[in-house]
Amino acid sequence: KLQNKVALITGSSRGIGKATALLFAKEGAKIIVNYNKAEKEANEVVKEISKLGSEAISIKCDVSKEEEVKKMISEGIKKFGKIDILVNNAGIVYDVPLFEKTVEQWNKTLEVNLIGVFLCSKYAAPYLKKQKGSIINISSTNGLDTLSTESADYDTSKSGVISLTKNLATELAPNVRVNCIAPGWINTDINKRLPQDYIA
């Protein structure tokens, strides 16, 4: 289904991003694997993709940093010549009681989870327009209904992603299709620190 397409997937060294990268590669896409800290894991994903018979590159980038996002997009273009699909998946969460959360934690969550989506979409948009491509934003059911006050900053950021998706879809129509997915609780590394009875 994705033969000869190029997909940039943020936060794809593990979790939902990794699963998406491997599925897209199975469907024939070339993948730009983005990571911030997990270099070893990102390189493993690249190896797995090559075993599937597709091509991939790993690029370090903190999606909340504008200059790093610009650099990631240009490196991806240099390698593959185009971008057809952008999956805005990178995200962080601090599970801290609401009034114990610091402003720094709030800022970092919003910067990565929400401003990161804006930055990656902004700088990928010219290339996506050329390809009549698509953007897929990963929100969360937490963006629709709050499940825990300990993740209020995360919930707020994911609600923002839903609103931003609608604005991006309006701005980029009819050239780029923009959609949002809101997964529920998924058994990934981001949730490993939760209490076992809660996970169960």
By annotation, the residues acting in catalysis are 154
User: Three-state SS for 71?
Assistant: helix
Alpha helices in 12-90 (DSSP H): 15-26, 39-51, 66-80
Where does residue 137 rank: exposed (0-12), middle (13-18), buried (19+ CB within 10 A)? buried
Q: Count H helices, E strands: the chain?
A: 7, 6
Strands lying side by side in the sheet with 56-60: 56-60, 30-35, 6-9, 85-88, 134-138, 177-181
